Amino acid sequence: MKHLFPLLLLLAGACSRVEAPAPVGPVPDARQLAWQRLETYAFVHYGLNTFNDMEWGYGNTPASTFDPAALDCDQWVRTLKAAGMKGVMLTAKHHDGFCLWPSAYTDYSVKSSPWRDGKGDLVRELSDACRRHGLRFGIYLSPWDRHHAEYGREAYVEYFHNQMRELLTNYGPLFEYWFDGANGGDGWYGGADERRSIDARSYYRYEEARETIRSLQPEAVIFGGTCADIRWIGNEEGWAGQTNWSFVKGAGDQNVNDFTHGERDGDHWLPGEVDVSIRPGWFYHPREDTQLKSLSQLVDIYYQSVGRNANLLLNFPVDRSGRIAAADSARIVAWRQTLDAEFAHELLAGADVEADNVRGGARRFAPGRTTDGNWESYWATDDGVTEGVLTFRFEAPQHVNRLLLQEYIPLGQRVARFAVEWSGDDREWHPVETGEELTTIGYKRIIRFAGVTCRALRVRFEEARGPLCICNVEAYDAPVLLEEPRIVRDGSGMVTLRAGDRGAEIRYTTDGTQPDGSSPRYEAPFLLPDKGEVRALVRDPQSGRMSEVAARRFDIPCGSFRVRELEPGEQAKMFDGDVTTAAYLPRGLRSCTIDMGCERSLTGFAYTPDAGRWGSGVVTHYRLLLDGRKVAEGEFSNIVNNPVEQLVEFAPQRGRVLRFEACALASGDAPSIAEFSVRTE
Ligand code: FUL
């Protein structure tokens, strides 16, 4: 009888039509659903900043500076398509107000530049290239405009809406429309050169903007503003929360309490988008040519965004010539090839699937729906059943290290906690080893775990907001990733090389040449007491396969410098090459005095704030004195959103004692210094 029961249920289910589970709100609309399925698409930051080596132009740079010699949108789109990107978003206008299209409402645009003799239209060229290659196109239009004389007053809002209409009308269908939330206050503003503050919630008239977008571009999802369809994920580092609900309390994205995780009791569908740049900055800076994110960092970003129920908007800072730099294209194509290799052979398609509950016993909701390759069909449980077990059995032992899960989100996001287990004999079960909290799933969740050879895998759904609706489960055996090594130098000049994989060996050079399999093998930390460059790679001794090359250029070590205001233990954190340890100046102090021990000829300095989760004291405006003379002063643009090393260069200056002054802080009342170093002649 025990065995007959499921059969009878199935028969009963086949005879009567079993209703689909009722939605558990909130649910996505068709536009949000179509967007979610794009998963990965590209951002391009391009404009006057590219030519001025800036992140946030002030709004006073002449339009004539914009002069790419070999701009080629086909090259961008071909590269991005090869990287599996489904669309491209362009900064049609960034905070500096310069327009990449010949707007009828201003001369501060490509039409006043030498590029294509003032007849160019970059928005047109890119949207056309996207159409030719079958990619979607999207627009970023900065609400903040540091150039416009009327910014802060009514006339600017008219201008902003007029420009929006131009972009929505003239360039074909858009998949996404981005309103950036940044507003630093100060700007050139037609020569006024002052600080202007606005109330972003009311000033830009976002409600009206939404109506315009809806009527002219019904497919476009809106990012930012007060009526968003998707939400920022809360950082520019490339990760979503391990718990990531696609909804929040209240409409719009300006009153979200938790961007990174969403809100379980939310009533408004607002899925997350992870925006991050392939280099430290959003715009191109020659000094970042060697600071591309590594292959393994980019692979991590994929798992921490798409693998955590968010979409990935990956930025490419197109270079001054007007092309995606060769290293960036090679890296991103390698990234796609790595992901393709990781997801090459799906293992559950032929496996036997069983569930402990099937909605109404109906075939339509059977567990096999999770492996039929059809996203529209799903396994569901009965009303009131919010826990369940899905078991997959292999014919022969199988090595597995990835599991991909998808909920059928048209009916809402439900799962709040689950476990993944494996068994070698179908009797004893063990949890897989993963660093991840197994909580939410949503549109897609991908779990990486230490490989196991198993006869069976099972997913125990332990908590959900309603009956389970799982439309897809996949398993993979991803090949070992040869991560390039990490290169770190401490204050005394000792260099440590670290590989992600303990089974791999490291080969390196210190003379600026490319290492290969015959370069010296790294055994222990070594001394690099002066300026120099270290390059290293990881090699799999079995197959001889090698990783990409990691390279770092160092100036003199600063561990012998003395900071008058700090205890030795605290000052060491500024010079130890480790950005995860930060010195804080004593409360009330806004500057520190650094004695270099002897006179030196300096050409620059670099500052890194405490970018840790709980870090504060980020210096946004600085002044540097050398033996009492001012040698540099300015703003670290966008340091709050992107708290990476900030390099400031100047004409050579001789001296011994430096004074680093924090003229303004973004948060906290004590300046933080995770790293400080000098550039010498
Ligand atoms: C931020 C901006 O301030 C950055 O410059 C960049 O455009 C990034 C995508 O958004 O808020």
- pLDDT the model gives residue 549: 94
**589, 656: one domain:** yes
- pLDDT the model gives residue 499: 82
> What pLDDT, in 10s, does the model give residues 285-301?
887 887 889 888 999 99
HSE-up of residue 550 (Cα within 13 Å, Cβ side): 25
Q: Quick check: 576 pLDDT over 70?
A: yes
Q: Cα of 277 to ligand 1 centre, how many Å?
A: 10
**449, 595: one domain:** no
**451, 368: one domain:** yes
With residue 380 as reference, give the H or E element that holds it.
strand 379-380
**533, 569: one domain:** no
Nearest CA to ligand 1 atom 10: 180
Reported pTM? 0.84
Whether 638 is in the pocket of ligand 1, judged by its Cβ within 6 Å, is: yes
Whether 641 is in the pocket of ligand 1, judged by its Cβ within 6 Å, is: yes
- pLDDT the model gives residue 482: 85
Q: Quick check: 162 pLDDT over 90?
A: yes
Whether 282 is in the pocket of ligand 1, judged by its Cβ within 6 Å, is: yes
- pLDDT the model gives residue 350: 83
217 inside domain: yes
What CATH number is given to the structural domain containing 426? 2.60.120.260
**307, 198: one domain:** yes
Atom index in ligand 1 nearest the CA of residue 275 equals 9
Instruction: Please state the φ and ψ torsions of residue 254, each to the nearest 5 degrees.
Output: -90, -10
In angstroms, the Cα distances linking 434 to 393, 501, 503 are 21, 16, 19
137 inside domain: yes
Nearest CA to ligand 1 atom 3: 182
> What pLDDT, in 10s, does the model give residues 82-139?
999 999 999 999 999 999 999 999 999 999 999 999 999 999 999 999 999 999 999 9
- Domain residues for the domain of 495 are 486-554
How far apart (Å, rounded) are the C-alpha atoms in residues 304 and 118?
42
Tokens of 614: 């709980």
**331, 360: one domain:** no
> What pLDDT, in 10s, does the model give residues 418-468?
999 999 998 999 999 998 999 999 999 999 998 899 999 999 999 999 999
- By most ligand atoms within 8 Å of CB, the mutation choice from 52, 146, 231, 236 for ligand 1 is 236
**462, 572: one domain:** no
> What pLDDT, in 10s, does the model give residues 28-47?
999 999 999 999 999 999 99
Sign of CA dihedral 446, 450, 454, 460: negative
33 inside domain: no
What CATH number is given to the structural domain containing 493? 2.60.40.10
**109, 178: one domain:** yes
Q: Quick check: 13 pLDDT over 50?
A: no
481 inside domain: no
For 386-393, what is the mean pLDDT?
A: 98
Nearest CA to ligand 1 atom 6: 282
Q: Quick check: 507 pLDDT over 60?
A: yes
For 321-342, what is the mean pLDDT?
A: 96
31 inside domain: no
**75, 213: one domain:** yes
Domain boundary among 456, 476, 496: 476
- pLDDT the model gives residue 23: 98
Q: Cα of 180 to ligand 1 centre, how many Å?
A: 7
Contacts of 554 (CB under 8 A, 6+ apart): 489, 528, 531, 532, 533, 534
Return the beta strands (E) in 613-674 as ranges.
Answer: 619-626, 629-635, 646-665, 672-673
Domain count within the chain: 4
**208, 321: one domain:** yes
Q: Cα of 90 to ligand 1 centre, how many Å?
A: 12
Annotate 323-363 with three-state secondary structure. CCCHHHHHHHHHHHHHHHHHCCCCCCCCCEEEECCCHHHCH
Q: Quick check: 247 pLDDT over 90?
A: yes
Domain boundary among 424, 453, 476: 476
- pLDDT the model gives residue 203: 95
Mean of pLDDT over the chain: 94
Distance spanning both ends of the chain, measured CA to CA? 87
Q: Quick check: 145 pLDDT over 60?
A: yes
Domain boundary among 532, 554, 576: 554
For 159-172, what is the mean pLDDT?
A: 98
Q: Quick check: 4 pLDDT over 80?
A: no
Number of helices (H), then strands (E), belonging to the chain: the values are: 11, 33
Percent of the residues in the chain that have a pLDDT greater than 90, as a whole number: 86
